[in-house]
Amino acid sequence: MVGLRSNRAGLFMQDDFKVSSRLTLNFGARYDIMPYGEETYDRLATFDPATRTMLLAGKTTSRRLRETDYRDLAPRAGLAFAANKSTVIRAGYGVGYIDPVGAAGVLNSMQFNIPFYFRDNITQFPFLAPQYTLSSRLPALTVPSPSAPTGDQRYLVPGDRNQYSQTWSFNVQHAWNASLLLDVGYVGTSGNRLLFTSNINSARRARPIPRYAAHSAERSAKIRAFSNSAHSTYHGLQAKLEQRLSRGVFFLAGYTWSKSIDNQSTGTDDSAANGQSPQNPLNPSADRGVSSFDRAHRFSEVLCGRCRS
């Protein structure tokens, strides 16, 4: 258990401008300061590839491990245009930043580094004389020094800025009559500086970390780097048909035809240092493809009624 804490500050402004009886514009902006959290007792650490040592929060590096991003300014704009009495056209664009503490929980996994976390195992082969028995004491667990770490470690890139997304949309809404409404639109999203994990001590690298290439145990150890360098795109055609029936009953049908593409679909990690990594750490762009959660076609139908007492 760790006690992460962090402050948040934000400003938001938005207003509508009625250009004419048919056209309305909307403009806004949001500014957020969202620093990485600090641990109550500084029980966080990160691997330093330059010195091949562990940097300890509040001692050999900052308490937050990562620099605060002060450039999270997110503008947005939209419009609504009444083409005629039955048709309305809407369009919009916006930027949104992702809270680094509430997103993938990367900072929380920094507790699973030496000297605050270490794991070891004892293997006994069958059909051989047991090295250890239940009545004997197990060998003492010796935690490696932060100045000479071994085994799997994590590295949080200190200068990365916060993740953000861009979203844009365009849709046309047409009322065929007083009870039948059709809405057809396009939605696009670009995910930028998303969480990306990579083993920087991979054997496929031309020059793995020197200290971790000296012995076989270190050669197989993972140095998992967390950087905000992944990217995703989404494009979707969305259609909705709403039919209002009598007595408060209405029928709603929706259809989405979309495609999601990225080079990191999960972007998460756990205490076992697992997670999605690129097939080739020297060429992460080769992993760009259809997202693991992509669904090209989605249909939905809803029949809803309201009961009167």
pLDDT tens digits, residue range 260-287?
Answer: 999 888 755 444 334 567 877 778 888 8
Domain annotation covers residue 113: yes
* Range of 21-25, 111-115, 201-205 with top mean pLDDT: 21-25
Give a yes or no: residue 127 inside a domain: no
* Per-residue pLDDT band at 108 (split at 50, 70, 90): low
State the first-to-last Cα distance of the chain, in angstroms, to the nearest integer. Answer: 51
* 138 located within any domain: no
Cα-to-chain-centroid distance, residue 234: 15
- What 3-state DSSP class applies to 83? coil
- Compute, in degrees rounded to 10, the torsion defined by CA atoms 126, 131, 132, 133: 60
- Report the mean per-residue pLDDT for the chain: 85
Read off the tokens for 12: 């938001």
Given pLDDT bands bounded at 50, 70 and 90, which one contains residue 214? very low
Range of the domain at 150: 4-118+145-304
- State pLDDT tens for residues 123-144: 777 777 877 777 777 777 888 8
Classify residue 139: in a domain, yes or no. no
DSSP readout, 221-275?
--EEEEEEEEEEEEEEEEEEEEEE-STT-EEEEEEEEEEEEES-S-----TTS-S
133 is a domain residue: no
Closest by CA position to 287, among listed 269, 259, 262: 262
At 95, which helix (H) or strand (E)? strand 87-97
Domains identified in the chain, total number: 1
Report CA torsion sign: 250, 255, 261, 265.
positive
93-122 average pLDDT score: 80
Structural domain includes residue 27: yes
Does 215 map to a domain? yes
For residues 110 and 241, which has the higher predicted lDDT (pLDDT)? 241
Question: CB count, 10 Å around CB of 292?
Answer: 11
User: Tokens 């940097």 sit at which residue?
Assistant: 55
Tell me if 182 is assigned to some domain.
yes
